[in-house]
């Protein structure tokens, strides 16, 4: 189904791999110009090669979303190159250390929160400023998680950051609704990405995690990308302040591992 993104300009943070990469490519396929942001230049340029391989146009901007100057420069370079900003997928994130609270260092807390939560806040701040400067209108999707809806023993910092993203999403949506800017979030369960491999790659851990997905498998990056692109298109024009759960049944009920 065509989503009418021709001529739109989209930013994708964390576009160097996984969900971000697949979303950037899909935006390009749908006709958008894509600005990919991330900390890893080699992987970012690989994403841009894939975007151009689909006939798309775009730009890679090395960005640390936890730094205000980097995020401000990202938006500025987007506007300098393409003249405007219509869409943003604030996807950059890290898993941090998955250990009990009593063993967690302050440095590990700060690192995870700075990227996963402060980073989304900074992106919203500068993206919304630009959209308002243009006269309003636009669509933003933030990356949360099923961990934004539940606690998780051993992953308190990650869970707290993703809960925070949902709160930011709702608040930003309320602040911008009358300006025609829509702000939503996507909340995946385990997805087959490098991050997912780091957390659940060990055979026993993988088997344990699969048991919480009634559908019997983990998700794929393109399944999340399809949802993000839809939420950022006019097909979702009445949707704002919402969190779309893509979890293979994870949150539908208690599903202990088999």
Q: Which residues are catalytic?
A: 144, 158, 162
Burial label, 79 (beta-carbon count in 10 A; 0-12, 13-18, 19+): middle
- The separation between CA 109 and the C-alpha centre of its own chain, rounded to angstroms, equals 20
**Which is nearest to 12 in space by CA: 184, 203, 228, 235?**
228
Distance separating alpha carbons of residues 227 and 243, to the nearest angstrom: 11
Write phi, then psi, for 40 (nearest 5 degrees): -105, 110
β-pairing, 87-90 vs 138-143, is parallel
Q: 93: which DSSP letter?
A: -
């Amino acid at each position: 189904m065509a989503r009418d993104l021709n001529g739109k300009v989209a930013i994708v943070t964390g576009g160097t791999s996984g969900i971000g990469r697949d979303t950037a490519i899909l935006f390009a396929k749908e006709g958008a110009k894509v600005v990919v942001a991330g900390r890893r230049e080699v992987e970012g340029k690989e994403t841009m090669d894939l975007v151009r391989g689909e006939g798309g146009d775009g730009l890679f901007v090395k960005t640390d979303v936890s730094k205000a100057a980097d995020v401000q420069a990202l938006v500025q370079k987007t506007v300098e190159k393409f003249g405007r900003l219509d869409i943003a997928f604030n996807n950059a994130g890290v898993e941090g250390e998955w250990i009990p609270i009593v063993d967690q260092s302050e440095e590990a807390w700060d690192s995870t929160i700075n990227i996963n939560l402060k980073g989304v806040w900074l992106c919203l701040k500068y993206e919304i400023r630009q959209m308002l400067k243009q006269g309003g209108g636009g669509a933003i999707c933030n990356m949360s998680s099923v961990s934004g809806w539940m606690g998780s023993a051993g992953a308190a910092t990650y869970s707290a950051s993703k809960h925070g993203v949902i709160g930011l999403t709702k608040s930003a949506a309320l602040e911008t609704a009358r300006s025609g800017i829509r702000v939503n979030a996507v909340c995946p369960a385990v997805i087959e990405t490098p991050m997912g491999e780091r957390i659940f790659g060990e055979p026993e851990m993988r088997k344990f995690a699969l048991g919480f997905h009634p559908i019997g498998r983990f998700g794929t990056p393109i399944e999340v990308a399809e949802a993000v692109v839809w939420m950022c298109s006019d097909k979702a024009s009445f949707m704002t302040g919402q969190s779309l759960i893509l979890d293979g049944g994870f949150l539908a009920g208690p599903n202990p591992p088999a």
